[in-house]
Every structure is written in C-alpha cells, then in structure tokens.
Amino acid sequence: MSDIPGGKRVLLIVGGGVAAYKALELTRLLRKAGIGVRQILTKAGAEFVTPLSLAALSEDKVYDDLFSLTDEAEMGHIQLSRSADLVVVAPATADLIAKAANGLAGDLASTTLLATDKPVLMAPAMNVRMWLHPAVQRNVATLKADGVSFVGPDEGAMACGEFGPGRLAEPPEIFEAIVTMLRGPAARPLAGRHALVTAGPTFEAIDPVRGITNRSSGRQGYAIAEALARLGARVTLVSGPVALPTPPGVTRVDVESARQMLAACEAALPAEVGVFVAAVADWRVDEVFGSKLKKDKGGPPALTFVENPDILATLAASGPDRPKLVVGFAAETDDVEAHARAKLARKGCDWIIANDVTEPGVMGGTENAVLLIAKDHTERWERASKDAVAQAIAQRIAEALT
C-alpha cells in the first residue's frame, strides 16, 4: 500500500490462545507493507507459537522476559514501550485486557502496556461467554475511555466448539486497522462529525408473545457504524433487537418498535449523516392484545393493521435538523435498480444502497452485493463481506462530506 507512511514500526504483543497463530500472518502482512515489527511473546502465547517462527517473519528479536539481564540493563521494557509508533495486542486475551484496564504490571507484556506513551490497538480473542461477561465488558469500556482502540472480535465458530462473538479478527482486518492508525489524523476524515445509523429489524407486538418482524441480522448496519467510527465519526447506533455486540467507539440505543426507533433517531439529531439500514416493519396491529391469543373453534383472529411511521422519509424531509447526507437502504427481491430508484425519489434521500435479498448468504448472512444509487448515477459493487461493503460505504460518505 503506497500510502502507508514510511519508516513506521509496530510493537506486537502476542497473547495466549489458539488464535495466536494468526499473529504469524499479521506479521507477514506488516513486513510485506514495509512496516517494522518487534514482538513480545507472552508465556501463554509461547504455548501456541514459537519465538523462532515470529523472529523469522519479523526479522527482529522476540522479547519474552521482564527480568532479562541484557535487556533490563537499559530498562528494556521502557525502550520497547516507546520504540514503536503503535502497540498492537493480538490476540488480546481476557487476562491481558484485565491487566491493562487495572494497571497491573507483573510481566513484560503488561509492564510495557503500562509504560507506553504510544497509541494502543487491541484485537480481542476469547470464548464467547468470556467476551460477554460483565467483567470483561467493564474492562473493555475502561480501556476505550482511556483511548485504547479495538478491532473485532468477530462472530463465528470457535476452537472450543461454541459460536458467537469472540473470534480474533482476521489478519487483513487487523492490518487495515493498524494502517489506519499509523496514517494518523488523515485517516480520520470524519473526526468531529456526528453519524446516525439504524440497524436490525423492528418488532411490532401483537400480544405479549407474538409480533411482526423480519430476518434482518443487523450485521450490515453494525459494520457501517463501526466503519464510520474508525474514520473518526461520533456514531449513534439505533438498534432493533439483535444478538450483536456494540461496535467499538459507538454509542448504542436499543429500541424495539418502529415508533421507538423514530423517536430515538429524532432525539439523536442533529447529525451530518444519517444511514438508515434498519429493516423497519411497514405495518403494526392497531391494537396490541393484553394477553396471549388462544386458538378456538372460530379460527384465527382478525387483525387490523395500520402503517408505521416512515423513518427514512421523515428524517429526509427538509428541515433544520435534516442530515447533510441521508442514505437509505432497499432490500429487494426483483427489479432491484428500478425499485430502488423509485424509492430514492419517493423518500427524498440522497443515496439508496440496494441489494437483492434473494441472493444466498445476504439476508441474515455475512456477505452482500449492492448498488449505490444517487440522483445522477448508479454504481454496482462486487459481492464482498459486509465488513468490506461497510468500509467502502464509510469511505464514500467521508468523500461526500469532506
């Protein structure tokens, strides 16, 4: 990548866990890009990767001992903590996160984190129940408040056999986060801007146990919120009911119904950009039953529906709080471009991001293929991961606002 500043160096702290093997690929990517890498290997990390393999890829010495006579003669942990432009912890275990959040310094890795005056990027990796544990989330919140950046964790199958958030982000994703931080302020073109993002489905109650919803996973909206935050934006994410962790650096507001979502969006304004990804239910029942509906011989009950508020059209309408850039989403099953362009005109927004939800792996999945439709042109983007699509959308938003 030609736009990476020359002469940059990274101090990579490799924590324990099966995911430690990904540190080898990350090191290779960094060196290929001309970024210097020096490494600290924790005792737990050495159970999964060897100092020799890390040293061979980094072309530098690997450090592991706080009390090395040779290194500590010159206060090696101080020199290590300040010799690089960025400190990266990958994988960042629950133990390393806890030590950093609470200022503990019992080994070389934790002492270096406490002594550094450089930016820190952590890539967490742990069992899903560990990641979601209140203690870990408190420690992560503390580190974020202290200015530590995070990339991941991803959601997926784990070595322990469970599934959920906690997987170490893939090396290319960590690499991109490192490059973004090494570029400095130029990589944060949305600094000082407020972005409002909606994501997930809404749920319209019929009775205490039933409701109207859809299959939206929320992944695309959450990925866009995270991508905008990485570019420096202050992001408010208004989310319907989903089982996703809050993206790093994002303020999340949980709602259930369309009316609650509209109220939360209006309360979040003003914003420079609004990205309305949520799959909002078009209708709701005019009266929610107070008790569970029962089957009877008369057949199913007759339900009367009324329209929900149109969040996109309402917030795209001209007014003092209208975002400078309003982006809507269109999930279509046929004539995607024609339906999306009609929606663009009908809603009064600036862009529509359209996709064909009949494509395998899109609705509720991890990939997407979209059209970006503006008033005067259409762009067709190749199928990619939702994270990659989110990064492309965030970059286009930054270009439009700066």
- Which three-class secondary structure state does DSSP give residue 282? coil
Q: Give the active site residue among 75, 160, 209, 338.
A: 160
Whether the bond between 301 and the residue before it is cis, its omega within 30 degrees of 0, is: no
**pLDDT (tens digit, 9 = 90+) per residue, 112-139?**
999 888 899 999 999 888 998 999 999 9
Q: What is the DSSP string of 251-285?
A: EEEE--SHHHHHHHHHHH---SEEEE--B--SEEE
Name every residue whose Cβ is closer than 8 Å to that of residue 385 and which is 6 or more positions away in sequence. 366, 367, 368
User: For residue 275, which of 286, 263, 265, 284 has the smallest C-alpha distance?
Assistant: 265
Q: 77 and 46 in contact (C-beta within 8 Å)?
A: no
User: For residue 354, which of 376, 366, 338 has the smallest C-alpha distance?
Assistant: 338
371 vs 75 pLDDT, higher one = 371
Average pLDDT for residues 221-241, to the nearest whole number?
93
Show the tokens assigned to 25.
């690929």
User: Does pLDDT of 101 surpass 90?
Assistant: yes
State the Cα–Cα distance between residues 400 and 387, nearest whole angstrom.
20
Residue 343 annotated in ligand binding = yes
Residue 104 annotated in ligand binding = no
Residue 282 annotated in ligand binding = yes
pLDDT value of residue 69: 47
Residue 292 annotated in ligand binding = yes
166 vs 262 pLDDT, higher one = 262
Q: Can you list the pairs that 70-79 forms with residues at least 24 positions away whose Cβ atoms lie under 8 Å?
A: 77/108, 77/111, 77/112, 77/115, 78/115
To the query of whether residue 349 is one of the catalytic residues in this protein, the response is: no
8-state DSSP, 246: P
In order of their start, the domains of the chain are 9-185 (3.40.50.1950), 194-401 (3.40.50.10300)
Q: How many helices (H) and strands (E) does the chain have?
A: 14, 22
Residue 12 annotated in ligand binding = no
Residue 315 annotated in ligand binding = no
- Which three-class secondary structure state does DSSP give residue 328? strand
Residue 57 annotated in ligand binding = no
User: Does pLDDT of 148 surpass 60?
Assistant: yes
Task: Give the torsion through C-alpha atoms of 238, 244, 248, 250, to 10 deg.
Answer: 0
Buried b (16+ CB within 10 A) or exposed e, 220-254: bbbbbbbbbbbbbbbbbbbbbebebbbbbbbebbe
**pLDDT (tens digit, 9 = 90+) per residue, 178-196?**
888 887 766 678 988 999 9
CB atoms inside a 10 Å sphere around CB 377:
7
**Residue reference for tokens 């133990």:** 95
Q: 113 and 99 in contact (C-beta within 8 Å)?
A: yes
pLDDT value of residue 358: 78
| Identity of the highest mean pLDDT range in 2-11, 101-110, 320-329 | 320-329
**pLDDT (tens digit, 9 = 90+) per residue, 194-218?**
999 999 999 999 999 999 998 889 9
Burial of 288 from C-beta contacts in 10 A (0-12 / 13-18 / 19+):
middle
**pLDDT (tens digit, 9 = 90+) per residue, 327-372?**
999 888 888 889 999 999 999 999 999 988 777 666 666 788 899 9
pLDDT value of residue 365: 66
**pLDDT (tens digit, 9 = 90+) per residue, 244-263?**
988 877 899 999 999 999 99
Name every residue whose Cβ is closer than 8 Å to that of residue 378 and which is 6 or more positions away in sequence. 337, 341, 371, 372
